[in-house]
Amino acid sequence: MSEPTASPQPSENDSLRSQLFRYAQDLDELMQQHSRLQQQHGMILQSLGREVQGDDLLTAILAASAPLCLITDLQGRILRTGENGNKRQPLLGQGVPGLTLQQLLPVERHAALQAALARFAAQGVLASALQCSLPFQARLTPNGLTYDALAVPKQVGGRIEVHWFLQEGQSTDDSPMQFLMDLVHSATSENGVFLSNPFGTIAAVNQAFCQISGYEDWELVGNNPRILSSGRHENSFYQDFWLELLDKGSWSGTVFNRRKGGQIFLEWQTIKMVENEDGQVVGYLASAVDLSYTDPATRRLQTLAYTDPLTGLPNRRKLVDYLSQTLGSGHAQRHPLALLFIDLNRFKPINDELGHEVGDLVLKEVARRMGKVLLPVDLLARVGGDEFVVVLSGPRRADQAEQVANLLQHALVPSMPIGIHQLKLGASIGCARYPQDAEDMETLLKHADSAMYAAKRFALPFCFFDAGMDSKTLPNLEFDLWQALERGEITLLYQPQVRNDGQALRGCEALMRWKHPVVGDVEPSVFIALAERSGAIVPLGNWALEHACQQLRAWRNAGLLDLTLSLNVSVRQLRDPEFIRLVEASLAENHLPPASLELELNEGQAGMIIQNDTRPIQALRQLGVRIAIDDFGSSFNSLARLNTLSISSLKINAECVQELVHSADARAISNCMIAIGQALGIEVIAQGVENAEQAKVLQAQGCRVIQGFYSGRPVTAETLPALAQVSSTA
């Protein structure tokens, strides 16, 4: 007998791409948080009376030291001039204010000037600086001199001005860097100024920068600014910095640097990318303000730097510092530590479908709930989009890792009332312990992350790290789900829906099942959640629709003409522009009356519907397709939605049905749901009916259709006709 063929496993590249994709999803949010943090920094600096105004700082330093400066508006009109005692400048005293730069330059330079001004107008104060030459006309200067110029936009009040820093052209030097180096050397401000070439190497510094850093100029020039690195910033900080600088042309923010003597200090930097008229980067011009002059200010800024602005929790930087200190002090004593890596389940669909504002409120509520079940000695940090980390220190607390994980899971169970929505989340939690799983911070974080992914693979709420869990022989359910259709692992079962008066078959619900070649039968609640999160729900749902309609045609050909086929549908499917055409084609190809197809929206999905989603629902209703709300009563909080969605039936949730016999509250709730259905002309179906007593209560309350083990378990397509014959003779 030949051995079974092993199912393809994800490669290291697949895992890397998955991780990069996960980080990329959070990039936009991280950049927004970064921007908010910089704004907070600026507010603190202004409250301390420091004249630090973002990108204007560099402009102010240059204006105080440059030999000559012309200030124009965005049309090129010269508003005023600036000078610093250099009376040899031939433009001074010529009545320049009131003229335009166009009047000072030859006609052939007008187009380039207009292009530069247009770029400043479009990008505002964040635009990169422009290095160029200005050949002034001979009638305005003694010899028609050409000036090297650096144009920098600056915001003044509500308008943008352009500062043109000028220096008589150096005819013997063709390097555009020389002019910029001269500007840096002439900067006599108490604040530091330095220039880097396009490759990041320091080309020039002023004396104040040497005093701040503790280095001599010859030690800095020719070196990379990394010589000042404090080690307190992660690679992601510098990646975000370069992304913003290259995208916008400007960056302002706080940086922890290290002086030559080893002292770490906080610095406010403003960096301008300098381009020539061809759009090529000439260099990077930067100013630096030493913020260590006041300890309270530093402490306040450090607090901001270590805090997630959305949730108020410690951020990744704080977590890294905390672990560095804890493991550094505890290594000799081997004090145990447990690290829980938490990734939220079902957050991405909420964030995508309902928007970032709702997503932010969910993250705040998650942080609040998890914080309530932890002890003050525990550290809870938000390290990325929907990822959190808990650190449990000490032998006693580390041993309670699994119990703490259970508490965190239970805290997320109740629905979250966010606006008009009742949202449900879960979490996958992985745990790595020090010192048995790792003896350094980086490995500990990596192993906790691996344990979390193992929890996702096996659909577990919690998983300890194991040395073999990174093996390629273990299945990745989310990865495998995308290939399950091709492998023939997905099947449909059909659960009967019967009339509650005489047990006549009303129809059936098509239920998807997945038999994994390694894991075996995967719980529907597990793989449906995976499919929703990954987007695989669309091809899976469309496959189920086509196959269920083909099966319904086969039953009708066999004489079962009055069956109604129910099928779950996702909001993601409704938003697929091809979905309505697929429904039309499936009905037409199988010669089915539209009313024989009933598409069910889970109540949680229905709560995510926005205005645009009602259009495909109305289109389905116009076709004659029935629309049902599944699990009604579990979280739905707006009766007006029932009428808005034009539904044809609703299904009482199984939790309520199971309590009917013993709970007066459950009977009152079901009675209310049935009355609502009757008042709106909506058919009511009770699901999860397991015994005759429950069916009797429902019949007395007026519920005409039931579904559950009492009326029939899910069966194969071949078995259902026999059930129909039994019900017809009952």
Residues sharing a CB contact under 8 Å with residue 501, sequence separation 6 or more, in sequence order: 699, 704
DSSP for 459-512, please give it.
T-SEEE--TTTT-TTS--HHHHHTTTTTTT-EEEEEEEEEETTT--EEEEEEEE
Per-residue pLDDT, averaged over 57-85, amounts to: 79
CA 115 to CA 166: how far, in whole Å? 19
CB atoms within 10 A of CB 563: 20
Summarize pLDDT for 351-367 with one digit per residue, the tens. Answer: 888 888 888 999 999 99
Lowest mean pLDDT among 368-377, 392-401, 542-551: 392-401
The answer regarding whether domain 33-298 maps to CATH 1.10.357.10 reads no
3-state secondary structure of 560: coil
Name 698's Cβ contacts closer than 8 Å, sequence gap at least 6. Answer: 500, 657, 660, 670, 674, 686, 689, 706
Question: How many angstroms from the chain centroid is the CA of residue 657?
Answer: 39
- Contact between 480 and 463 (Cβ < 8 Å): no
Q: Which fold has domain 308-474?
A: Alpha-Beta Plaits (3.30.70)
Q: Report residue 387's pLDDT band, with 50, 70 and 90 as the boundaries.
A: very high
CATH architecture assignment, domain 479-729: Alpha-Beta Barrel (3.20)
Residue-range domain boundaries for the chain = 33-298, 308-474, 479-729
Average pLDDT value over all residues in the chain: 80
pTM for this entry: 0.45
pLDDT value, residue 32: 45
Q: Are the C-beta atoms of 238 and 317 separated by less than 8 Å?
A: no
Q: Say what the pLDDT of residue 177 is.
A: 82
Tens-place pLDDT, residues 27-66 = 444 444 444 444 444 444 444 444 444 446 788 888 877 7
Structure tokens at 409: 């899971």
